[in-house]
Amino acid sequence: MTLTRADCEALDRRDPLATLRSQFVIPPGLIYLDGNSLGVMPAAAPARVAQVVQQEWGQGLIRSWNAAGWMNLSQRVGDKIARLVGAAPGELVVADSTSVNLFKVLSAALHLARAESSGTHRGAQRHVIVSERSNFPTDLYIAQSLAQQHGGTLELLEGEDIPARLAGARGQDVALLTLTHVNYRTGRMHDMAALTAQAHAAGALTVWDLAHSAGAVPVDLNGTGADFAVGCGYKYLNGGPGAPAFVWAHPQHVSSAWQPLAGWIGHAAPFEFTPDYQPAPGITRYLCGTPPVLSLAALECGVDTVLAAEPLGGMVALRHKSLALTRLFAELVQTRCAGHGLRLVSPTEDALRGSQVCLARDDGAYAIVQALIERGVIGDFRAPNVLRFGFTPLYIGYAEVWEAVEQLRQVLDGGVWRDARFQQRQQVT
Amino acid sequence: MTLTRADCEALDRRDPLATLRSQFVIPPGLIYLDGNSLGVMPAAAPARVAQVVQQEWGQGLIRSWNAAGWMNLSQRVGDKIARLVGAAPGELVVADSTSVNLFKVLSAALHLARAESSGTHRGAQRHVIVSERSNFPTDLYIAQSLAQQHGGTLELLEGEDIPARLAGARGQDVALLTLTHVNYRTGRMHDMAALTAQAHAAGALTVWDLAHSAGAVPVDLNGTGADFAVGCGYKYLNGGPGAPAFVWAHPQHVSSAWQPLAGWIGHAAPFEFTPDYQPAPGITRYLCGTPPVLSLAALECGVDTVLAAEPLGGMVALRHKSLALTRLFAELVQTRCAGHGLRLVSPTEDALRGSQVCLARDDGAYAIVQALIERGVIGDFRAPNVLRFGFTPLYIGYAEVWEAVEQLRQVLDGGVWRDARFQQRQQVT
């Protein structure tokens, strides 16, 4: 039975996480289903950033590296993110961009895989990097770059073909498996534990991109035995535009794997200014240059909004609500927008779905997204034909889901989206 | 004849650049001689950053990538910095950190040097990266990392031995010369034109780190024929703590040299999300991941403070004042602090000196810097024995130089610095 708007309003009144929305500034009249691209602004961010700019930079100046704790900000925020992804304190740092961090961990994993395979006299055999054809492009570009540089092979498969590629004799040439945990375009989520176990059984290492997972779905890096991970600060962590990213290495690898971005902030004693590089102990060696403090401070505000859910059940409770929201959206689209040529791209099975719902349409996907944006329902378009809607359970409610589908229905029913002004593509939506 | 305080005050009154100081917020009572480590805050920065946080992020959200111009911010700020370093519009972008950019350009230069030398059948000969032993550590670490990865050799020389190393038959194995234009510890400036010409005569390429040059001394990248350059946003460009860095490649190399940090923002069509990497035309291919917008916006305010000198004579006028300030400081130290064991480390010859003056002392250098900081004169300590003072001509005046030396004299005369509280080292000063 399809829920009514009144049913959804009742769900909002009973939502134990509803109070978390007050942590954010949400523009009036906006239904923001794009938190998987750029999370909304935490209400604490303007004052915190102003403090960093006016007090810490403006008044403290260079002294703030110590006095305001800038020196340890990458680790401090890293420790907070660690709590959201099943990592221990000291295992994860904030640094650079997701792309740059991918370069570090893919390099480290390749280095490790080769060292191990040469130790067992299988040297040249382990040269394949396996990934998914529909992985986020930057993940593929960075892997491609490293494969090209080191004489390896990047092999792109459909997600469902990966287990067979790792099994038995076929898996013996695989150096590493690198995947985005939740696919950016479909919202499909991989089974991190199962794939990691399959990769390990094949003698390969795993690198996970948590861009669409951190703050959106429970992740247990240590529990699954993953080898390396990176993730994004500006999506479900609400860290602000281009917020720095994070990087994690399993404690068993962190000191043995070499990564090439050997910058001074990752040195064991950066202020000794010695000409030889000695990596810092632990994950700090994955830092490279001086971090962008303003952006890092905003990221901390964002991460704090997710940690605020801890007394209410944390990531498990957020996941419960996220699934309810995405399930509701998919159901309402199927019932209320039937006959308009929309296909559900995201999995209906909860265990396979992240915190987004994607729809495909043979034509008009871009224009429909634009028409929705004009009506205050912000999702995004992903080429070639996908309408993408992200549901951040911290600030999205059930009645908003209902209203978003209602607007979608109106845009489709009236043919509104066929208007010329919605056809012109901009670079980003 | 040594100038008096009154003489210095008179110089300030006649200083044609004195009005530029009003662009900054300078904490009362502070004489800030550390703009070569972290520039002071432009008065425009708080409002601009607040606008980006509250309006562009908070209200515009994802729409601001287009509506607020975030997509082109790296290029827009890059074009502004280009005006300060002798580059043309479209040749320079803001991206990542100096360390990460060094990795890109050193990789590209090595790639190019090898392609060229294999073309002339000298393949294995060109394997040496020449640098200066006293170069900033991150430059050496990144070069070391690349040499290790590609089977090259990093050869560290004293600055004065570099020309001989490049000359004649000895230069034939040199792939590239990488130097910081103005040395971070001594303030000594290399002759970029002469060394570039010598490197080119040897068949080698040059990579210049402008960390202590951009906004401090005139630089003419195109005029000197340099091959690659990187630089820092938070020193003389006043971009704020950890501001993003910049990267430049000579137009003749930009499309032929391959760089390995092939991220999605450097792709020719990032929103097509194609699985194969196609680098963007020109310098945009040196972008990698999503840029930290808040830090980038603050950097633009900083760069604007330097560009504000253009109607007053620009970098030439700033250089003229900078030399007068550093000359004055060095002279006053020699006359007023004589007999206290301070040695001038920075060159007295104008053409060899950047915008800083460094002093060495056998013991107590750290404690003396601390005692000065307590008195509101902020310089910094560089291991093992250097007191470093930077002079940003945009906001430092002659009477401040006089007063800084007066405080130094008092700290030394009274033995104030021997107090126990000044001996305890912190990570950064």
Q: Where are the domains of chain B?
A: 5-43+313-422, 69-307
Instruction: Give the closest residue to B289 by CA, choosing from B317, B263, B309, B311.
Output: B263
- Other residues' Cβ atoms within 10 Å of the Cβ of residue A388: 26
Task: Give the whole-angstrom CA distance, residue B82 versus residue B93.
Answer: 8
Give me the sign of the Cα torsion angle B139, B140, B141, B143. positive
Q: What is the mean pLDDT of residues A202-220?
A: 98
Minimum Cα–Cα distance from A135: chain B residue: B275
Q: What is the mean pLDDT of residues B195-203?
A: 97
- Checking if the pLDDT of A172 tops 90, the result is yes
Nearest Cα of chain B lies from the Cα of A307 at a distance, in angstroms, of 20
Task: Give the whole-angstrom CA distance, residue B155 versus residue A386.
Answer: 53
CB contact under 8 A, A292 and B288: no
pLDDT tens digit sequence for B26-85 = 999 999 999 999 999 999 999 999 999 999 999 999 999 999 999 999 999 999 999 999
pLDDT tens digit sequence for A383-405 = 889 999 999 999 999 999 999 99
CATH 3.40.640.10 assigned to domain A69-307? The reply is: yes
- Checking if the pLDDT of A88 tops 80, the result is yes
Of A46, A142, A428, the CB nearest to B65: A428
**Which CATH entry fits the domain spanning B5-43+313-422: 3.40.50.970, 1.20.950.20, 2.30.330.10, 3.90.1150.10?**
3.90.1150.10
- Other residues' Cβ atoms within 10 Å of the Cβ of residue B101: 30
pLDDT on residue B123: 47
- Residue B209 is a catalytic residue: yes
Structure tokens at B385: 């024995």
- Checking if the pLDDT of A119 tops 90, the result is no
Beta-bridged to residue B156, according to DSSP, are B131
pLDDT tens digit sequence for B159-197 = 999 999 999 999 999 999 999 999 999 999 999 999 999
- Checking if the pLDDT of B231 tops 60, the result is yes
Please give the single-letter amino acid code of residue B139.
Answer: D
- Other residues' Cβ atoms within 10 Å of the Cβ of residue A420: 7
Sequence-distant (≥ 6) Cβ neighbours of residue B373 within 8 angstroms: A63, B379, B429
Question: Cβ contacts (< 8 Å) between A382 and chain B: which residues?
Answer: 273
Nearest Cα of chain A lies from the Cα of B258 at a distance, in angstroms, of 10
- Other residues' Cβ atoms within 10 Å of the Cβ of residue B210: 30
Instruction: Give the closest residue to B107 by CA, choosing from B161, B52, B58, B145.
Output: B145
pLDDT on residue B175: 96
Report which secondary-structure segment, H or E, holds B320: helix B314-336
Backbone angles phi, psi at A246, to 5 degrees: -130, 165
Q: Complex ipTM, two decimals? A: 0.97
Task: Give the whole-angstrom CA distance, residue B247 versus residue B266.
Answer: 13
Find the catalytic residue in B21, B185, B235, B361.
Answer: B235
Task: Give the whole-angstrom CA distance, residue A386 versus residue A397.
Answer: 23
pLDDT tens digit sequence for B275-297 = 899 999 999 999 999 999 999 99
pLDDT on residue A137: 94
pLDDT on residue A429: 40
CB contact under 8 A, A65 and B264: no
Nearest Cα of chain B lies from the Cα of A49 at a distance, in angstroms, of 8
Q: What share of chain A is helix, strand, coil (3-state, %, to 5)?
A: 50, 15, 35
Exposed e or buried b for every residue in A48-69, given b needs 16+ CB within 10 A?
Answer: bbbebbbebbbbbbbbbbeebe
Sequence-distant (≥ 6) Cβ neighbours of residue A17 within 8 angstroms: A309, A312, A317, A318, A321, A393, A394
CB contact under 8 A, B294 and A293: no
The mean predicted confidence, pLDDT, of chain A is 95
Question: How many H-runs (helices) and E-runs (strands) does chain A carry?
Answer: 14, 15
Where do we find the tokens 């068993």?
A252
Are β-strands B380-382 and B386-390 bridged in parallel, bridged antiparallel, or unpaired? Answer: antiparallel
Backbone angles phi, psi at B8, to 5 degrees: -65, -40
Question: Cβ contacts (< 8 Å) between B49 and chain A: which residues?
Answer: 49-50, 53, 294
Of B49, B260, B271, the CB nearest to A383: B271
- Checking if the pLDDT of B115 tops 60, the result is yes
Dihedral of the alpha carbons of B208, B213, B215, B219, in degrees to the nearest 10: -60
Task: Give the whole-angstrom CA distance, residue B343 versus residue B350.
Answer: 18
Instruction: Give the closest residue to A95 by CA, choosing from A253, A292, A306.
Output: A292
Nearest Cα of chain B lies from the Cα of A319 at a distance, in angstroms, of 24
pLDDT on residue B222: 98
CB contact under 8 A, B40 and A61: yes
CATH 3.30.565.10 assigned to domain A5-43+314-422? The reply is: no
Structure tokens at A28: 């009036």
CB contact under 8 A, A241 and B64: yes
Same fold, B5-43+313-422 and B69-307: no
Task: Give the whole-angstrom CA distance, residue B219 versus residue B159.
Answer: 19
pLDDT tens digit sequence for B59-70 = 999 999 999 999
pLDDT on residue B273: 87
Instruction: Give the closest residue to B240 by CA, choosing from B310, B297, B309.
Output: B297
Minimum Cα–Cα distance from A264: chain B residue: B138
State the best of A295, A369, A429 to mutate against chain B, taking most chain B CBs within 10 Å. Answer: A295
Exposed e or buried b for every residue in A297-309, given b needs 16+ CB within 10 A?
Answer: bbbbbbbbbbebb
Q: What is the mean pLDDT of residues A185-211?
A: 97
Minimum Cα–Cα distance from B70: chain A residue: A241
Q: What is the mean pLDDT of residues A316-337?
A: 98
Structure tokens at A372: 């929705």
* pLDDT-above-90 percentage for chain B: 92
CB contact under 8 A, A145 and B277: yes
Per-residue pLDDT band for A419 (boundaries 50, 70, 90) equals very high
Per-residue pLDDT band for A123 (boundaries 50, 70, 90) equals very low
